[in-house]
Amino acid sequence: MENLRQLMAAYFHQDWWDEYDGSWEGAVDDFARREPHRVAPAIDEITLLLGAGDSDATVGERLDAMGNYRHPGEEPNAHATWLKQIRERLARVT
């Protein structure tokens, strides 16, 4: 999951909110622009992570372990929903 880890650690780091004015979309777009070679593999890794059948809390823990500092909210399946949104956004640029 090195490509998803790169997205989380380099674009959703502690200061991501300030760097991207609170826009997760801006962070994802920056990742796609700066590291286009990682986009397709990141999409595949998101699909694998979502398909693992883990609870949303576990998905969140895995993202946090990759360096993620964005909290997607308290809704049920918030992490999975956010990952699906990231995947959809990345798929538009491939």
pLDDT in tens, 55-88: 999 999 999 999 999 999 889 999 999 999 999 9
CB-CB contact of 58 with 66 (8 Å) = no
Task: For 25-63, write each residue's pLDDT tens digit.
Answer: 999 999 999 999 999 999 999 999 999 999 999 999 999
pLDDT at 58: 95
Q: Counting beta carbons within 10 angstroms of the beta carbon of residue 86, is it exposed (0 to 12), middle (13 to 18) or buried (19 or more)?
A: buried
Going by pLDDT thresholds of 50, 70 and 90, the confidence category of residue 94 is confident
CB-CB contact of 49 with 1 (8 Å) = yes
- Residue 45 structure tokens: 């890794």
Q: What is the pTM of this model?
A: 0.94
Sign of CA dihedral 62, 64, 68, 70: positive
